[in-house]
Amino acid sequence: MGLQVMKILHISPTNEIGGAKRYASELTKAMARTVETTLLIFGDERKTVKTKNLRTEIYPAYKSALNSLAFIPMDPFSLDSIHEIDNFDIIHIHQFRRTISNIAVVYANFKNKPVFVTDHGGVDFFSTIFFSFIAGRLANCFLPVSDFSAQSLLRYGMNSRVIYGGVDVFKFYPRNLEKEPGKVLFVGRLAPQKGCEYLIKAVQDLDVNLSIVSPQSNPKTVERLKLLDKNRRVKFEFGLSDEELVNEYCTSNVTILPSVYMDYYGKFHAIPELLGLTLLESMACGTPVICTNVGGMPEIVKDGKTGFMVNPNDVKGLRDGIEYFMNNPKQVRIFGERGRNQVLESYTWDSVARRCLSFYKDFL
């Protein structure tokens, strides 16, 4: 049976706003243009949503009382949703080391369904203790978003085929907008491993304005970061629409993702950045990037061509990169054009979907 007549189910267990949720949503939209595709997610009530070629099945999310304990993070889940697997030929699960993900892997294996897993980082308490090792060895293949991610999954002894990530290049593209003098940008969650503290320190003695754009505001975190902003170089913005986010990218001179293994407060993060989708979004908008040599980011940023790479926790390195783009507006344009071309060549969602379909076919 050819892939064109097969039915594919993607399961995304996270309700968190961020790259993992966007990844599953965008990939399934692209894949639905080629094959029958359904996305299973969790929400407040049971419903089916159809948009163009994609069907989304939403199941009510049971939330354990343990969710209220900050030291035991656990995704919402619904055991009723597992029976959706019966109706599909291929199962693609997003997020690993999550309870519902691992139950789905075991059930799909029991039903003799080919199952593929894309990890986006993060764990929950029960999955880590009871299920992940077993589920990891039952999956047919991991489809990680970077070589770095593939290396982190070697312990499970399963095949991996890297599919990377993508950008909607019809939404994220260069607008006819002027770069705002001195404007630099960070986009992402305000998690310690994102390294915002080092970026804020880097801009203090520069004539720049740093916009920190995040999907959600944590008042305590924001106040802690503001204490580092001695010279009032930082502006915080939360919950922007995609169109507003594109404007931020297009009017900035550089987007910076300074993620770290050892955060500002002395805690180690083994997997701080699996890929860095915001870097791809910035490049798609024609804006160069600066990232740290951390996780999967070196795989998508061409140092000295589409942006710069610096060492993690390196305030001076971040400052030097920012100064270069502030002093060389022509290079901002050149780097930005190269980045846009790189995204069009390798990092559209259609290209990610094609890689997935090719790997499904290899394992059928």
Q: Are 306 and 291 in contact (CB under 8 A)?
A: no
Q: 160 Cβ partners below 8 Å, 6+ apart?
A: 141, 142, 143, 144, 150, 153
How many CB atoms are located within 10 Å of the residue 7 CB?
12
Query: Which pLDDT tens digit goes with each residue over 192-247?
Result: 999 999 999 999 999 999 999 998 888 999 999 999 999 999 999 999 999 999 99
Per-residue pLDDT of the chain (364 residues; tens, 9 = 90+): 455 568 999 999 865 556 778 899 999 999 999 999 999 998 888 999 999 899 999 998 775 544 444 444 456 668 889 999 999 999 999 988 788 888 899 999 999 999 999 998 876 655 555 566 777 788 899 999 999 999 988 877 778 999 999 999 999 999 999 999 999 999 999 999 999 999 999 999 999 999 999 988 889 999 999 999 999 999 999 999 999 999 999 999 999 999 999 999 999 999 999 999 999 999 999 999 999 999 999 999 999 999 999 999 999 999 999 999 999 999 999 999 999 999 999 999 999 999 999 999 988 7
Structural domains for the chain: 3-166+348-363 (3.40.50.2000), 183-345 (3.40.50.2000)
What's the rounded Cα separation, in Å, for the pair 292 and 298? 8
Considering only the C-alpha atoms of the chain, give the largest distance between any 2 of them, rounded to a whole number of Å: 64
CA distances from 187 to 140, 219, 257, 363 (A): 34, 17, 7, 37
Q: Phi, psi at residue 261, to the nearest 5°?
A: -80, -45
Nearest to 169, CA basis, from 356, 364, 363, 348:
348
- Quick one: which H or E segment has residue 187? strand 183-187
Q: Are 182 and 326 in contact (CB under 8 A)?
A: yes
